[in-house]
Structure formats: C-alpha cells, structure tokens
Structure 1
Amino acid sequence: MQRTQRPLLARLAGANPTSVFLLTLVVVLVAFFTPGVVGGLLTLALAAALIALLVTTWSVQAPQTRVLRLLMLTLLVTVGLAKLL
C-alpha cells in the first residue's frame, strides 16, 4: 500500500465488484421503494456516500466521466429531496 493511500480505499479496491454492485442495488431499491421520509433519507445517505467517493476519486477520472457522475448524483439528490416532500 502506498503511503498516501487510505486503508478504507485499499479495502474498497480489494472488494468483489459483483458483491459491491449487488449490495448497492439492494440499498437503492430499498431507498426508492420505501415511502416517505425514510426512503428520502436513505436516498440522501446513499448520495452522501457517493459524494465522498466522487471527491476521493476526482483527480483520476476523465472529464467525461466526471460530468456523467455529477449528472447522476444530481438526479439521485433530486429524487431524495422529492421523496422528503
């Protein structure tokens, strides 16, 4: 592990991509289908986790990838805020 690399990122890099995808899919589906405030808060919590990941990986992403991720993140936050209302 490099000196500047964080232990959490090293663990995430070693995670099984299929497991991570399925876990994320379950969280998204639960957040989208849970009505009201709880679903909105779950959606916003997922968005906060993705913001943290986006900030961490910003420097190594291509500009096109950055734009796409920002658009998807904006959509996720919008859905979360709409569920809160």
Structure 2
Amino acid sequence: MQRTQSAWELRLARLNPTSVFLAALALMLAALFAPGLAGALLLLVLAAALGMLMSKTWPVQTAGMRAVRLSVLALLVAGAVAKLL
C-alpha cells in the first residue's frame, strides 16, 4: 500500500466494478421511485458518494471526462431538488 492511499481506498480498488455499478443503479432507482423527501435524501447520498470518489480521481481525469462527471453530479443534485419540490 502506498503512503498516499488510505485503507478504504485500497478496499474500494478491490471491488468488482460491475457490482458497484449495479449497486449504484439500484440505489438511484430506489431513490427515483421513493416519494418526496426520502427519494431526495437517497439521491443526495448518492451524489455525495460520487462527489467524494470524483474528488479522489480528479487529478488523473481528462478535461472531457471531468465535464461528463460534473454533469452527472449536477443532474443528480437537480433530481434531488426536483423531488423536494
């Protein structure tokens, strides 16, 4: 383990990408079908988790990939705000 990597980053790197994608998809679908505040909170939890991961991978991403990831994050937050209204 490198000095710059924490234990949770090392565990996260070992996860199966397909499983992580399916779990995030299930959480998003649950949030979209959940009513009002509960759905908005689930979307905000997902956005916070993705934002944390994005901050860790920011230095190695290209400008185009950064724009796509920021757009997805903005859509999640906009969806949460829309569920609140």
Interval containing the TM-score (normalised by the shorter chain):
over 0.9
TM-score (norm 1): 0.95
Say which is worse superposed, 34-43 or 16-25, in terms of deviation.
Answer: 16-25
Q: How far is 1:17 from its partner?
A: 1.3
Root mean square deviation of aligned Cα: 0.8
The one-character-per-residue Cα deviations of 1:27-50 (angstroms, maximum 9, x if unpaired) are: 011011111110011101110111
Aligned to 2:32: 32
* Whole-angstrom CA distance in 1 between matches of 2:63 and 2:7: 26
Alpha-carbon distance, 1:19 to partner: 1.2
Count of residues paired in the alignment:
85
Q: TM-score, normalised by structure 2?
A: 0.95
Long gaps (5+) in structure 1: none
Q: Write the deviation string for residues 44-78 of structure 1: whole angstroms up to 9, x where unpaired.
A: 11101111111111111111100000011101100
Matched, 1:65 2:76: no
Counterpart code for 2:73: L
Q: Aligned partners of 1:60, 1:28: CA distance in 2, in Å?
A: 26
Which 4+ runs in 1 deviate beyond 2 A?
none
Deviation at 1:13, TM superposition (A): 0.7
Q: Aligned AA for 1:55?
A: S
The equivalent residue for 1:11 is: 11
8 Å CA contact 1:41, 1:84 repeated in 2: no
